[in-house]
Amino acid sequence: MARKENGKVALVTGGAQGIGQAVAERLHADGFKVAIADLKIDAARKVAEKLGGKSGGAIALAVNVADRDSVFAAVDQAVGELGGFDVIINNAGIAPTSPIEDITPESIEKLFSINFNGVVWGTQAAVKAFRKLGHGGKIISAASQAGHIGNPGIALYSATKFAVRGFTQTAARDLAQHGITVNTYAPGIVKTPLMEELAKKTAAEAGKPESWGWEQYTKGITLGRLSEAADVAAVVSFLSGPDSDYITGQSIIVDGGMVFN
């Protein structure tokens, strides 16, 4: 089916690879104009060019989600270049291992500055844009299966994702009066560069082969397979569109059946 513009604009942080790229591609196919925001601007440009560039409804923006001013500037640029703003996908994040005894003040600050603070700055910037434009909107952030149940070896990552869920629930209550919905998507084990790096590191630290590292994260998946990034993008598509207008404050788990609520 040919793409048909829906008149909406979405910005995706961490949109240059993995889940973020899949989300940007899916939303573009859904008819959104998309701003692909990433620290890796060259990679973001390649994704935007693949989608037809500015004339095709896709632009690349440089952003550092740990920097509040950078996030606000990216949203302002998206509004200016794409002519509106309706959805923000706070997707950017990192997932290093964090054995309990190795956690430091520096590692806490780094992980929270990206995974949690980035969501706060994105939410604030989106609210400012929505209100200036005189309409509501959708704020959608990356939680995780590990933000619903603590996962071994990634205590800090799990903590940031629990924090994202808590922030989202309160934001949903506070922002409903402005016609803004706030939700999260919670992926399980997705075949992305980030997950591959984590599996390799887990295996190396244990002196095991890479396949062992993957097994530590994939055992217990009811559907018996790893997630593709497109599986997650499909849920983000739903949350970005009109069919989810009566959903707010929720975290939709997309993990193949690892955590049951």
Encoding tokens for residue 242?
A: 């009109």
Catalytic member of 157, 185, 217, 246: 157
Q: What is the DSSP letter of 228?
A: P
Candidates 29, 21, 125, 18; CA nearest to 78 is 125
Candidates 63, 74, 84, 67; CA nearest to 132 is 84
Encoding tokens for residue 229?
A: 């990034």
Distances (CA, A) of 169 to 17, 46, 47, 71: 28, 35, 32, 21
CA distance 1 to 231: 19
Give the model's pLDDT for residue 94.
Answer: 94
195 band by pLDDT with thresholds 50, 70 and 90: confident
Q: Is the pLDDT of residue 192 over 90?
A: no
217 band by pLDDT with thresholds 50, 70 and 90: confident
**Beta bridge mates, 60:** 36
- Specify whether the CB–CB gap between 176 and 218 falls below 8 A: no
pTM summary value? 0.93
CA angle 81, 83, 85 (to 5 degrees): 105
Mean pLDDT computed over every residue of the chain: 95
Least confident of 134-148, 158-172, 194-208, 218-232: 194-208
What does DSSP say about strands 33-38 and 58-62: parallel, antiparallel, or unpaired? parallel
Q: Is the pLDDT of residue 1 over 70?
A: no
Q: Is residue 185 flagged as an active site residue? A: no
**Beta bridge mates, 182:** 139
8 band by pLDDT with thresholds 50, 70 and 90: very high
Identify the H or E element spanning 167: helix 155-175
Helices (H), 182-250: 193-206, 210-218, 229-240
Give the model's pLDDT for residue 199.
Answer: 85
- Amino acid identity, residue 61? L
Helices (H), 31-104: 41-50, 68-82
**Stretch 136-152: mean pLDDT:** 96
φ, ψ (nearest 5 deg) of residue 160: -65, -35
**Stretch 63-71: mean pLDDT:** 98
In terms of pLDDT, which residue wins out, 137 or 215?
A: 137
CA 41 to chain centre: 17
223 band by pLDDT with thresholds 50, 70 and 90: very high
Domains of the chain: 9-188+228-250 (3.40.50.720), 190-226 (no CATH)
Q: Is residue 87 exposed (0-12), middle (13-18) or buried (19+ Cβ within 10 Å)?
A: buried
Give the model's pLDDT for residue 215.
Answer: 83
